[in-house]
Amino acid sequence: MLRTVFSPRLVALHLLLVVVLVSFGLLGRWQLGVFEDSGRPRVAADPAPVAVSTLTQAGRHMTTDAVSRRVTAEGTYDLGRQLLVAGRDGGFWVLAPLDLGDGTAIPVVRGRITDAADPAAKAAPQGKVTVTGRLRPSEQVDGVPRRVRSLPEGQVLTVSTAELINVWSGLRLRDGYVVATGQNPPDAAPLTPVHVDPPTVPGGFTWRNLAYAAQWWIFAAFAVFMWFHFVRDAVTTARAGRNEPEGGSKGGLDGGSGGGSEGGPGAGEPEQSPAPDNVALSPSQTR
């Protein structure tokens, strides 16, 4: 059996099967990767900056198309209400309300510091400033794990409009917050900028590529099925070819010896003619 399985013809078949399995497996994985990539968010158009007041209002949730839009805001920082957002990028976000001068304010993430006692957090310019940045939606309080110990005074865990309304009592806050990317005039001691991704749109899965991936893997399984049948047929044929000559020669020898010993007369014996059935007797013989 092993001689048949490892014959040159079947060895070539084995190698062909390996090539087919590797090729079809990689092609299926490639199509699966295309399917997975199609569902990832894609970068959307990034329009020019607009006034923050056109995208968010007090007492109303901002729309999804306003998320990560570039905005500008002009006002004055209320540094007496400034907070630190703990556990952000290995440090703290510096969060301060920006009074827009119309009776409303917008929370602004001015930057990041690594030490809560860093004096750069309070080095904001006095008077009016123009902030450019990206608008972000209010964070969910339930989405951030709470620490067992209480936070020090002046620190929070989330930039949540609902929570900040209670912390900054007396302010009419617009929904969401602005992550600053530029400021005029700049801070006396610059803070580390906080990175914000540009706006994205949700991707749509291309189910056709998933079907292609399954198709390649089905082809690979069919190749294994055909390989098994070819090998099985080759082994069966080889066994039948070895058993057939043995049975035919044995039967011929037995038939020849039997006919010579039993069917014909013995050697050297004269051949006797058969006796007649009816013989006529003469009258003398009858007497």
| Single-letter residue type at 228 | F
In the predicted model, what is the mean pLDDT of residues 224-245?
Answer: 83
Q: Which residue has the tokens 């092609």?
A: 27
pLDDT digits (tens, 9 = 90+) for 70-85: 999 999 999 999 999 9
> pLDDT of 157-177, one tens digit each?
999 999 999 999 999 999 999
How far, in Å, are 51, 62, 165, 179 from residue 59 at the CA level?
Answer: 18, 10, 11, 20
Q: Where are the alpha helices (DSSP H) in 156-206?
A: 161-167
What pTM was estimated for this model as a whole? 0.61
What value does the mean pLDDT take over residues 231-259? 64
Residue 280, number of CB atoms within 10 A of its CB: 6
Cβ atoms of 59 and 171 closer than 8 Å: no
Confidence category of residue 252, pLDDT binned at 50, 70, 90: very low
pLDDT tens-digit series, residues 16-34: 999 999 999 999 999 999 9
The verdict on whether omega for the bond into residue 185 sits within 30 degrees of 0, i.e. cis, is: yes
How high is the mean pLDDT of the chain? 83
Closest CA to 202 of 20, 30, 38: 38
Is the Cβ–Cβ distance between 174 and 52 less than 8 Å?
yes
Taking alpha carbons only, the member of 63, 131, 136 closest to residue 98 is: 131
Q: What tens digit of pLDDT does each residue of 54-68 get?
A: 999 998 999 988 889
- pLDDT at site 235: 84
- pLDDT tier at 144, thresholds 50, 70, 90: low
Does the domain formed by 50-201 have CATH 2.40.50? yes
| Sequence-distant (≥ 6) Cβ neighbours of residue 210 within 8 angstroms | 31, 32, 35
